[in-house]
Amino acid sequence: MKLANAFSLLTDLRIAVQVAIVPTLTSILRNPTLLFRPYELSRVFMANVWAVFGDGVDTGGKEVKEGLITPNAYGVVLDIGAGHGHTVRYLDRARVGHYVALEPNELMHQHIRAQANAAGYHESDGMWPAGKYVPQTREEPEDSVGSWVKGQMPVEDEDILVYVTVGTTHIPRPEDWPVMPVEHLTVSFKPNSFFKANPSMDVPGTKDPLSVNAFGPNAEGQACCK
């Protein structure tokens, strides 16, 4: 069985080379400097391989993905090594509000955008809460959290997405060399006009049998606590 798997892998590798070698050579003829940039050349080769094998690999794992991804994915999904973005096909748009794909090969990004757009996800869907170019922005950007909250979307029994924008001002010090210390940021969430009163008022109190009233009528000189 292991020998059969090894031969199958060699067959797949041979087919991959066959289907990708011609378009890769074409890219080299158009840009000969790729020969001196092996990393870029490998990205071109893998993009050509995935253009042929991507759909087939996805189809082969479709049953597993439907049982694993669709019922469990919700909120914000981060797809690391997204390839052509086939994972987005298995997301429930009603449960997953945002899809974020990380793919180092830029030649595959157009395919990811196409898959995401077809599934109802777009780059303008709440990606930049403070605007895409914060330092160069004087007015509130049109595509920012200010305009998003005007939609008056329902929040009851819904997953709430909270945007936290923080930053630190780094003043160089001799102690930063050779390794700069960590800058710690703390974020706390406190309700404001969410409850009518302190919600802990509804928590039943606990009675400690070892604690007695030191100042009440039944104190009899006993200490507050034993």
Give me 145's structure tokens.
Answer: 């959290």
Measured CA to CA, the distance from residue 12 to residue 50 in angstroms comes to 12
Range of the domain at 13: 2-60
Structure tokens at 51: 């253009």
The neighbour count for residue 1, using CB atoms within 10 Å, is 5
Measured from the Cβ of residue 65, the count of other Cβ atoms closer than 10 Å reads 15
Q: Are residues 92 and 119 in the same domain?
A: yes
Strand-strand pairing, 75-80 and 96-102: parallel
Residue 68 lies inside a defined structural domain of this protein: no
* Residue given tokens 């990708």 in the structure block: 20
* pLDDT at res. 90: 93
In this structure, is residue 78 part of a structural domain? yes
Residues β-bridged to residue 165: none
CB–CB of 144/131 below 8 Å? yes
Q: Are 210 and 226 in contact (CB under 8 A)?
A: yes
Please report the pLDDT score of residue 1 as a whole number. Answer: 47
Both tokens assigned to 79? 């797809």
- Of 102, 126, 144, the residue at which a domain comes to its end is 144
Select from 91, 113, 144 the last residue of a domain. Answer: 144
In a domain, 187, yes or no: no
Nearest to 148 by CA among 135, 129, 132, 164: 129
- From first to last of its 226 residues, what are the pLDDT tens digits of the chain? 455 555 455 666 677 677 778 888 888 889 988 888 888 888 888 888 888 888 888 888 899 999 999 999 988 888 988 888 899 999 998 888 888 888 888 888 999 999 999 998 887 666 777 777 777 677 887 777 777 777 666 777 777 777 676 766 777 888 888 887 777 778 888 878 888 888 887 777 777 777 666 666 555 555 455 4
Q: What is the pLDDT of residue 177?
A: 85
Domain's final residue, options 11, 33, 60: 60
Per DSSP, the three-state class of 145 is: helix
In a domain, 28, yes or no: yes
CA dihedral 129, 132, 136, 141 (to 10 degrees): -50
* 221 within domain boundaries: no
In a domain, 107, yes or no: yes
| Tally of structural domains, the chain | 2
Residue at 48 is within a domain: yes
Alpha-carbon span 73 to 100, nearest angstrom: 13
